[in-house]
Structure 1
Amino acid sequence: MNLIVIAVVSGALILGAVWGIYGNLSKQTEGFLVALAGGALIVSAVLELINPAIEKAQTGIALSIVFAGALVFTGLDYVVKKKWGSDSGGGLLAAITLDGIPENLALGVALIGADALAVAALSGSIFLSNLPEAAGGAKEMTENGTSKKKVLLLWCVTALILSLAAYLGNQLLAGVAEETLAYIRCFAGGAVVASLAIEVFPKAFKNEQYWTGLAAALGLILAFFLNSLA
């Protein structure tokens, strides 16, 4: 079941890429969907990763690790996109893979010892996030002159890498101590929060502006609702 959840969530990257390359995606629609997913993700990160972890670990250490997760993602994002650049195929692959690492790390560790319903809000939020992100990214790449075939290949490879990473992480961490797992969840939660601040909400506001506030609130409501079903 865990593998199916991971495959479906990562498969949204391929669906989104196809939508962006061959479909009709307006900037307003993309911004609204990205904000919706962002609102859902920030709630899911707190309710399904950080809060449960704090209940099983030392609060001070756990919160410090949340910050560490944000710090590491921010540093990696800066290095890959500002220093390395994303003009080459390798740079593009690294950039779009990095954006998906926090969410897939979060999904992999959240699924340990839990069924699909228990992480419905998180998996649903990541799916919602992946779809417009891939659609917008793929559309922008094709508009910048990258061939449609190459763009689709890049997103397929990204989906495969992130699926394998989430699944292997889930399997390898399944036997670790509960307190250690709690700290890993905190790290993933911090990385997710940083990715939302750096990548998600700025993009959403740029494309849709003030409707993004309502979209983020709707995402928050959706995440709370799904979480209440568990």
Structure 2
Amino acid sequence: MMTLIVVLAVSGALLLGAIWGVYGHMSGRLEGFLIALAGGALVLSLVSELIEPAIEQSSVFLASAGVAAGAIVFAAADYLIDEKWGPNSGGGLLAVISLDGIPENLALGVALIGAGPMGVAALAGSIFLSNLPEAAGGAKQMADNGDRSNGRIVAIWAVTAAVLSAAAIAGNLLLAKVSPEWLAFIRCFAAGAVVASLATEVFPTAFRKDHHLAGVATALGLVLAFLLGELGG
């Protein structure tokens, strides 16, 4: 039940963000600040909730291989998406968010295996904060293009949220029985993919939209994740 509640809350941010982007207003600077805040929180959360436990379960070499593999796969897929949809289109943003959302939600599902209610609070909160402004920006660009109705745009993002929810639940249910070594590798693979998304999509977007405060927001996000992690400990 805890897994379902956390997953629905995190993926629901996509739907809330899409509604905000289509029917509400979010300034570029606020969007950039929130994205940087989420990125900073994710940096610490990935290390504390995914990579460090993986090293304890296996070895630093296996964990490093998983991180590298995840980053390489994300980078290759991201390149193909940019070539097909274009990096600045609403559809491109939707594809990119889906691409980095799948490993994020898979990582969330894996992190929930054996964790207490607060054990993954920082990771879940970071993904929620990341999904909200990214979905708002992507939905707004899709609405500005004028080739889809507002209702259809929100429906597309709702389906995306459902797909990402399924990824998190699958990660939690299907991987609960795997060996500690494989689970460690999968944790780090997901972490590596998210790290690559932070470097290529999240932080560049945050800096472009709010370059004066993006660094401050990133630091605040890191502190926020640390505080949430302390509560969980």
TM-score of the alignment, normalized to the shorter chain, above 0.5: yes
Equivalent position amino acid for 1:138 in 2? A
User: Given the two structures, how large is their TM-score scaled by the length of structure 1?
Assistant: 0.94
Contact 1:17–1:139 at 8 Å: present in 2 too? Answer: yes
Contact 1:93–1:154 at 8 Å: present in 2 too? Answer: no
Change in CA separation of 1:51 and 1:211 when aligned onto 2, cut-off 3 Å: same
**How big is the alpha-carbon RMSD for the aligned residues of Structure 1 and Structure 2?**
1.9
Corresponding residue number in structure 2 for 1:213: 215
Equivalent position amino acid for 2:181 in 1? E
Measure, in 2, the Cα distance between the counterparts of 1:220 and 1:88: 29
Q: Secondary structure at the match of 1:176?
A: coil
Q: CA deviation at 1:87?
A: 10
Measure, in 2, the Cα distance between the counterparts of 1:106 and 1:197: 18
Moved more, 167-176 or 89-98: 89-98
Corresponding residue number in structure 1 for 2:59: 58
1:134 to 2:135 alignment: yes
Q: Secondary structure at the match of 1:217?
A: helix
Corresponding residue number in structure 2 for 1:101: 102
Contact 1:33–1:215 at 8 Å: present in 2 too? Answer: yes
Measure, in 2, the Cα distance between the counterparts of 1:139 and 1:117: 33
1:52-100 deviations in whole A, cap 9, x for unaligned? 1111112112112111111101111111231365899987754442131
Measure, in 2, the Cα distance between the counterparts of 1:26 and 1:36: 15
Structure 1: segments with no counterpart, 5+ residues: none
Corresponding residue number in structure 2 for 1:77: 78
Q: CA deviation at 1:40?
A: 0.2
1:1-230 aligned at under 5 Å gives the runs 1-83=2-84, 94-145=95-146, 146-230=148-232
Aligned length: 230
Measure, in 1, the Cα distance between the counterparts of 2:192 and 2:89: 29
Q: Secondary structure at the match of 2:58?
A: coil
Q: CA deviation at 1:133?
A: 0.7
Change in CA separation of 1:8 and 1:209 when aligned onto 2, cut-off 3 Å: same
User: Given the two structures, how large is their TM-score scaled by the length of structure 2?
Assistant: 0.93
Change in CA separation of 1:92 and 1:221 when aligned onto 2, cut-off 3 Å: closer
Moved more, 77-86 or 177-186: 77-86
Measure, in 2, the Cα distance between the counterparts of 1:159 and 1:186: 23
Contact 1:96–1:158 at 8 Å: present in 2 too? Answer: no
Equivalent position amino acid for 1:193 in 2? V
Measure, in 1, the Cα distance between the counterparts of 2:111 and 2:170: 13
Measure, in 2, the Cα distance between the counterparts of 1:149 and 1:129: 23
Q: Secondary structure at the match of 1:117?
A: coil
Measure, in 1, the Cα distance between the counterparts of 2:90 and 2:134: 18
Change in CA separation of 1:164 and 1:228 when aligned onto 2, cut-off 3 Å: same
Contact 1:102–1:195 at 8 Å: present in 2 too? Answer: no
Contact 1:48–1:110 at 8 Å: present in 2 too? Answer: yes
Equivalent position amino acid for 2:179 in 1? A
**How much identity, in percent, do the aligned residues show?**
63
